[in-house]
Structure 1
Amino acid sequence: MEYRKLGQTSLKVSKICLGTMTWGEQNSEAEAHEQLDAAIAAGVNFIDTAEMYPVPPKADTQGLTEQYLGSWLKKQQQRDKLVIASKVVGRSENMTYLRDGPRLNARQIKQACEASLKRLQTDYLDLYQIHWPERKANFFGQLGYQHQEDEQAISIEETLKACEDLVKEGKVRYLGISNETSWGLHEYLRLSNEQQLPRIQSIQNPYNLLNRTFEVGLAEMAIREEVGLLAYSPLGFGVLSGKYLNQAKPAGARLTLYERFQRYTSPLAEKTTARYVQLAQDSGLDPAQMALAFVTQRPFVTSNIIGATTLEQLQNNLESANLTLTDEQLDAIEQIHLEQPNPCP
């Protein structure tokens, strides 16, 4: 397993990160522990979770993912060998069960972090991330940007200062953002520089063969500012494995179970996916491993967040760490992308 520096820190994280958002919904506590054991055995030292998990988010399951990770950490007694990342929920009208409606102000960020630490049974988080912006902006695949000033929005400055308090208290080592724009990242960095506030070390955004919009404005920022991408949805909710082609509905699969995950299921997405799957098969590669290896090889990616609901899926995804795509394979991927770029922004 290759290990890469997290931002400008001294932390080294595995290029494959274990995602956890199915634990507590599609996976039991025992299955979560089995996944952790398998990932650690493969060399993974980086685990990503969030206070709102599992997904789909619900009041009666919220926090279970962190609890499952916490019970494993207590049992294994190897906290100091791992890099644990979590997230605080951004403003949401659909999660009133969280602090009567989550906001990114000082009081709520402190409350959220302390609750996560309790569930995780740890004294500190290596990386604490803002799950999505407080302001109204284009994220989660939104298009048609229309600028809206929002006087009620908590400022990035207030949020960053609240996170600074957690760093000073030793509850958080480093900070990251998620589902952010180029402007948002720039603003965090500007405030850090001008006010000597903690620096953002990573950005967690979607990135995969069906959605390479990160490359447009954020890839250069990630490299020049040393704020690497933690890529989520590298398989587009499993679509790029090819298992949903021809209207297939595999039993127990996420898109079979939940109608809300439609971002990568348009006819154009299916057509493009079929071409990537065919390319993989013509190259003698597993389609999921090819899609994952592409993400992991990008120069602006610090770590590729993989997730699975079965051990078989997890092992297959972990094996992508051993695959390096050739120049010819990368050229073929680029040709498909040029003909139909970003069918699922």
Structure 2
Amino acid sequence: MKHLLILIISIAASNLCYCQKQEPTVEAEFDTIFNFQFESLKNKHNKKILIDESHNTIYSLPYGKKTAREMLRIMSEDGFDVQFTDKVLDSINLNNHKPDILILHGMPNDKIILNSGEKNEILYKSPLVQNEVVGIGKYVYNGGSLLIFLSHHPGGSGALPLLEAFNVKFRDGYANHPKSPGYNCSVCSQFIMTTENGMINTNHPIFTSRLSDELLPKTVKFLCGAAVFRNPEDSVLPLPNNTTNYTRSSEGLNIEESSDSYSGMIGFEYGKGRVIVATDQGMFRSLDLLLDGEKIPVTIHDPDCDNAELFLNCIRWLGKLQ
């Protein structure tokens, strides 16, 4: 049985899989006990993971590492040397660290307020500078791996220059399907992905190269994210046909487009390297949201899903261990 040491925190809604017309704070609690049990590869490799905390990712927040506790533990338990960097992600820093996997977890635009006299103007700018986009692209092309987590608007907007460098199309809004309603959210769907409903692509190399049949996820929860697509064969977690992308403007929510080709996660090779893009920022975090008296796991410790199995397969595939 799982137990929780409850630590109540208030978190801005844009940092979690939750949305309303406004952006209120949401009560949440950390899951501090759950440990995913698996056969470890510790002492069988010397792979290194570098995690970005120099930009406005979840790790720039005081509680960021606590919300990713189980992710970090799984990587360390599986033998990865996990390090953080607060340096610019250009070729110099990446060459100095020589990571096997680079992780960017959340990448909203920087918000810049310009004082223009009578009225302040707001400018949104990607936190990634050109040298970083070029450096990360070269790093992957030459054999490195990249795991990037995005979110519904505005949690992934700052990654657009990097995504375009990898020919990834990101719909910077809210992925919605009428058969998958969200929690307290009229636009952002909560997808229950299974091998039976076709929303887990078991033919993807992440799964066909897995080391154990026990690690094949049967159910994955994707709790409010955005849409992404590249090539059809890159889709790891395909979204249902006729999924709609909603965007937000000063006038409210707008339907941008509907598609049969959207995904919640893609994975592909790029040069000698590998890339995974996930558009649910919270799918591997250790949080319970408290909404209208209901506790909603987000989501790696959710007893009704196999998000932990998915995460381990992703890390091992990126580390070229399977």
TM-score by shorter chain over 0.5: no
Q: Which has the higher helix share?
A: 1
TM-score by length of 1: 0.33
Q: Which has the higher strand share?
A: 2
TM-score by length of 2: 0.35
